[in-house]
Amino acid sequence: MDYRDTPEEAEFRAVLRQWLSATIPAGWDKIDDEEEAVELRKEWHRTLYRAGYVGMSWPVEYGGRGLSPVYDAILNEESGNMNAPSLPSVGYIGRAIFTYASEEQKRRFLPPLLSGEVSWCQGFSEPEAGSDLASLRTTARLEGDHYVVNGQKMWTSGGQYADWCLLLARTDPDVPKHKGISAFLVALNEPGVTVRPIVIASGEAETAEVFWDDVRIPEEQRLGAPGEGWRIAMTTVAYERGPADIGFIAAYRRTLRKVERLATERGLLEQPETRKALARAYVRGEVLRLNCMEQLSLRVSGRAPGSEGSVAKLLWAEAEQSLQHLAMDILGADELTGVADGWLSSYFTSRPVSVYGGSAQIQKNIIARMLDMPR
């Protein structure tokens, strides 16, 4: 593929740069309070949408602009270059809804998802069903025209700030475990839903556990056919593994510039080892960006995300964790003794990236099967 901009894409990029320069909230990256930061991200989502920069590759009838996914990649790049707040992660859950929902469900759920009016989380993992997702034990029993859900979900990222949840539950215990799972679209303010934030090693409550006690879900809020939950889950994580769909490229570029400034402030920029480490970090980011561009190109040609998303997921985890490790190397003991402050939290936050959308071992198994390697 040709990675250069077409004349139309170059014009879009120039207009976008001007808009970002005039619109990015001053001092947004100095906010320490988690709830204030969440509110800023939500408002940034709505601002982007009003300007036409969210859902650019989505169909017009569901709130998008019907453009090529390449425009989303340009938004990712320029947001990172201009130090903009994180982009909204509408891609992976939205694409699952778009792929499997009825027409009525698409028109009900997709426009408010894209506009930022309604935020979503993903209710997949459980205390004993993380990497082995098919072993989930949350049940949904059909009673009349409602399902009654009971169980517990863990590691529900952003669950404490979400309005709705894409939930997986077992609807048929008498068939092979992959075939007895269904998916549901559920409001988190339904009676019987309890959300408890989980404070992780970084000291922040960025994830949650969600309890479901006799929660009644209308049958028309089931996504897809009964027993189609596993297929829907695999579609969701296929998009989740693509950094282009969750705005990671922009965040990585922003962090890389911060690490470069850190090395400059500490007088380490002329040291050969520091320069090599920064160069490797830049190359990792570029490899990941070009991998994303290739996958977006496949999508433009009509091919849905597949096993190749596991390659991007491994590159993503390595890039993010290596960059955070480099920041800790530059700071040395000063970060641990409190002389310098602010990077330890993001270092710890980078560690679980390995398991987002499936652990590194799962991704390697998928790649091995893709390459027809022996088990």
- Distance separating alpha carbons of residues 338 and 208, to the nearest angstrom: 28
Lowest average pLDDT, out of 26-30, 34-38, 144-148, 306-310, goes to 306-310
pLDDT in tens, 294-308: 877 777 777 777 777
- The stretch 26-53 carries a mean pLDDT of 90
Average model confidence (pLDDT) across the chain: 88
- Distance separating alpha carbons of residues 81 and 99, to the nearest angstrom: 32
Confidence of residue 235 (pLDDT cuts 50, 70, 90): confident
Whether 284 and 315 have beta carbons less than 8 Å apart is answered as yes
Q: Which of 242, 238, 250, 239 is nearest to 74 (CA)?
A: 250
On the question of pLDDT at 241 being above 70, the answer is: no
Lowest average pLDDT, out of 11-25, 109-123, 198-212, 250-264, goes to 198-212
Identify the burial level of 338 via C-beta atoms within 10 angstroms of its C-beta, where 0-12 means exposed, 13-18 middle and 19 or more buried. exposed
Count CB atoms within 10 A of the CB of residue 139.
17
Count CB atoms within 10 A of the CB of residue 150.
16
On the question of pLDDT at 175 being above 90, the answer is: yes
Distance linking the first and last C-alpha atoms of the chain: 33
More confident residue, 324 or 348: 324
Q: Which of 163, 84, 179, 96 is nearest to 357 (CA)?
A: 96
Q: Give residue 246's pLDDT.
A: 52
- Distance separating alpha carbons of residues 301 and 303, to the nearest angstrom: 6
What are residue 165's DSSP bridge partners? Answer: 121, 186
Confidence of residue 243 (pLDDT cuts 50, 70, 90): low
- Distance separating alpha carbons of residues 97 and 166, to the nearest angstrom: 9
Whether 106 and 95 have beta carbons less than 8 Å apart is answered as no
- Distance separating alpha carbons of residues 239 and 242, to the nearest angstrom: 5
Q: Give residue 279's pLDDT.
A: 96
Whether 156 and 208 have beta carbons less than 8 Å apart is answered as yes
- Distance separating alpha carbons of residues 156 and 114, to the nearest angstrom: 20
Whole-model pTM: value is 0.79
Tokens of 125: 């993992």
Confidence of residue 2 (pLDDT cuts 50, 70, 90): low
pLDDT in tens, 44-53: 999 999 999 9
Catalytic residues: 240
On the question of pLDDT at 128 being above 80, the answer is: no
Domains of the chain: 7-88 (1.10.540.10), 120-226 (2.40.110.10), 241-371 (1.20.140.10)
- The stretch 95-119 carries a mean pLDDT of 94
On the question of pLDDT at 249 being above 90, the answer is: no
